[in-house]
Amino acid sequence: MNPPRGTLEQWRALQAVVEYGGYAQAAEQLFRSQSTVSYAVAKLQELLGIKLLEVQGRKAVLTEAGAVLLRRSQQLLKDAAEIEQLASQLNQGREAEIHFVVDAAFPTTMLMQALKRFAPLSQGTRVQLKEVVLSGGVEALMEGKADLVISGRAPPEFLSNDLLNVGFIAVAHPDHVLHQLKRTVTVNDLSRELQVVIRDSGVKQNIDSGWLGAEHRWTVTSLQSAAAAVTAGLGFAWLPQHEVQHKLDTGSLKVLPLDEGQDYCANLKLIFGKPGNIGPATRQLADILFAVASADK
The whole-model pTM stands at 0.69
CATH topology for the 97-163+268-296 domain: D-Maltodextrin-Binding Protein; domain 2 (3.40.190)
Spatial contact of 236 and 170, defined as CB atoms under 8 Å apart = yes
pLDDT value, residue 69? 85
- Residue 78 scores a pLDDT above 80: no
CATH topology for the 8-91 domain: Arc Repressor Mutant, subunit A (1.10.10)
Find the angle CA(43)-CA(46)-CA(47) to the nearest 5 degrees.
85
Lowest mean pLDDT among 56-70, 145-159, 239-253: 56-70
pLDDT value, residue 41? 86
Q: What is the mean pLDDT of residues 251-274?
A: 95
Q: What is the mean pLDDT of residues 230-239?
A: 95
Cα Rg of the chain (Å, integer): 30
On the question of a common fold for 97-163+268-296 and 166-265, the answer reads yes
Band of residue 267 on the pLDDT scale cut at 50, 70, 90 = very high
**Could you tell me whether strands 126-132 and 97-103 are parallel, antiparallel, or unpaired per DSSP bridges?**
parallel
Is the pLDDT higher at 232 or at 73? 232
Domain boundaries, the chain: 8-91, 97-163+268-296, 166-265
- Residue 201 scores a pLDDT above 90: no
pLDDT value, residue 127? 96
- Residue 120 scores a pLDDT above 90: yes
Band of residue 91 on the pLDDT scale cut at 50, 70, 90 = low
Spatial contact of 136 and 271, defined as CB atoms under 8 Å apart = no
pLDDT value, residue 102? 97
Spatial contact of 196 and 226, defined as CB atoms under 8 Å apart = yes
Phi, psi of 224 (to 5 degrees): -65, -40
Spatial contact of 175 and 251, defined as CB atoms under 8 Å apart = no
* Percent residues over pLDDT 90 in the chain: 54
pLDDT value, residue 207? 64
- Judge: domain 166-265, CATH 3.40.190.290: yes
Q: What is the pLDDT of residues 58-71, one digit of tens each?
A: 777 888 888 888 88
Residues 6+ apart with CB under 8 A from 132: 101, 102, 103, 104, 139, 140, 151, 201, 202
Q: What is the pLDDT of residues 15-66, one digit of tens each?
A: 888 888 888 888 888 888 889 988 988 888 888 888 888 877 777 788 888 8
* Residue 120 to residue 90: CA distance in whole angstroms: 17
* Residue 16 to residue 10: CA distance in whole angstroms: 10
Residues paired with 238 in a beta bridge: 170
pLDDT value, residue 238? 95
pLDDT value, residue 2? 58
pLDDT value, residue 208? 61
- Cα-to-chain-centroid distance, residue 200: 22
283: amino acid identity, one letter: R
Angle between helix axes 223-231 and 241-250 (nearest 10 degrees) is 20
Is the pLDDT higher at 276 or at 269? 269
pLDDT value, residue 234? 94
